[in-house]
């Protein structure tokens, strides 16, 4: 990227940057590493709109990395409920404890990458935004901008091109300018090319086919799985358990039930829900059962929102309550 193009991009960012609670305004001192790291973990495969209120609530409860490191794991998992991809929460706890033991975040991308749950993107984001290291975090937005700018069909070439585009100084502003450009203008579909500060330098725009870059992934068919959730209700209480630490929804509160399987299940159900995970879809059948099973606890039904149920089991509980009401009518 020419110095002129980089200057246009940074000026566009100054004029149009997204005001987010984990950011500092352009040209200001960088935000705390804790805020950058926490936001980047939360934003993995989750939208800015969904993350913003949850980020602020997290900070109110655990305002420092030391406070988060000292928190009981069950409390963090409960607070994470509804954000999905629960391995992120387990890695969040492990990383917080490692950083607290070190006395703070390391300042380099190489050292950051050694921490639990931190990969190439997150380490580059924290290094660039919080510590001013000359790194370019490449998320899907940045990947799309770079691929279109250079008409790249090979995604593996993007990181090198992105690094070559970075001007000297202001690596945090440059990284966030690229992220914002991809999110707001260089969109996957119907990009707003006429509003883009880099349009004059963009090969995909010149070709008239910006949406052809980067090459779309071939669509995959999600396998279908099946499960049973037991609804065990007594005196205004419902029996909940905690899922095993490893595996899908690990460590989260849940309705009890057997392992999910590949074949359809038959049972005297009161309700059904379907939930789509990243790699498969699940049909969950809710079945009333009389006695509690497994290690768990009685949760007041009128306080189910406090149990930290992930979306699948929150929807299952809502469906079960509606089904029980219909049966009693």
Active-site residues: which are they? Answer: 40
Distance of alpha carbon 280 from the chain centroid = 18
Whole-angstrom distance, CA of residue 174 vs CA of residue 92:
26
- Using alpha carbons only, what angle is made at residue 239 by residues 235 and 245, rounded to the nearest 5 degrees? 165
Residues 6+ apart with CB under 8 A from 192: 184, 185, 186
Q: Which residues contact 197 (CB under 8 A, 6 or more apart)?
A: 5, 8, 9, 11, 12, 181
CA angle 274, 276, 279 (to 5 degrees): 140
Long-range contacts (CB closer than 8 Å, 24 or more residues apart) made by 266-270: 267/228, 269/323, 270/231, 270/320, 270/323, 270/324, 270/326, 270/327
Are the C-beta atoms of residues 171 and 165 closer than 8 Å to each other?
no
Of 101, 88, 92, the closest CA to residue 46 belongs to 88
- Say if residue 121 is preceded by a cis peptide, omega within 30 of 0: no
* Residues forming a β-bridge with 19: none
Residue 120 CB neighbours (<10 A): 13
Which neighbouring-strand residues pair with 297?
A: 240
């Amino acid at each position: 990227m020419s110095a002129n193009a980089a200057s246009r991009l940074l000026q566009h960012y100054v004029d149009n940057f997204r005001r987010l609670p984990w950011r500092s305004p352009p040209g200001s001192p960088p935000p705390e590493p804790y805020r950058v790291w926490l936001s980047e973990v939360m934003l993995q495969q989750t939208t800015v709109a969904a993350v913003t209120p949850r980020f602020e609530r997290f900070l109110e409860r655990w305002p420092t990395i030391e406070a988060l490191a000292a928190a009981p794991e069950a409390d963090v998992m409960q607070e994470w409920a509804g954000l999905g991809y629960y391995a992120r929460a387990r890695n969040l706890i492990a990383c917080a404890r490692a950083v607290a033991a070190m006395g703070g975040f390391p300042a380099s991308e190489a050292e950051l990458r050694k921490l639990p749950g931190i990969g190439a993107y997150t380490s580059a984001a924290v290094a660039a935004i919080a510590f001013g290291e000359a790194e370019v975090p490449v998320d899907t937005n940045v990947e799309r901008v770079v691929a279109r700018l250079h008409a790249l069909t090979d995604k593996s070439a993007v990181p090198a091109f992105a690094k070559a585009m970075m001007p000297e100084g202001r690596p945090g502003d440059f990284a966030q300018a690229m992220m914002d450009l991809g999110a707001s203008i260089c969109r996957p579909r119907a990009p707003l090319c006429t509003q883009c500060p880099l349009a004059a330098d963009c090969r995909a725009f010149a070709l008239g086919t910006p949406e052809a870059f980067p090459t779309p992934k071939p669509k995959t068919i999600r396998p279908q799985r099946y499960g049973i959730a037991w609804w065990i209700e007594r005196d205004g209480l419902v029996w909940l358990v905690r899922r095993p630490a490893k595996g899908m929804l690990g460590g989260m509160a849940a309705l009890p039930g057997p392992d999910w399987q590949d074949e359809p299940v038959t049972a005297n159900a009161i309700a059904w829900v379907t939930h789509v995970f990243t790699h498969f879809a699940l049909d969950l059948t809710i079945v009333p059962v009389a006695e509690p099973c497994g290690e768990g606890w009685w949760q007041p039904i009128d306080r189910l929102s406090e149990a930290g149920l992930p979306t699948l089991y929150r929807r299952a509980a809502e469906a079960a309550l509606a089904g029980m009401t219909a049966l009693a009518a």
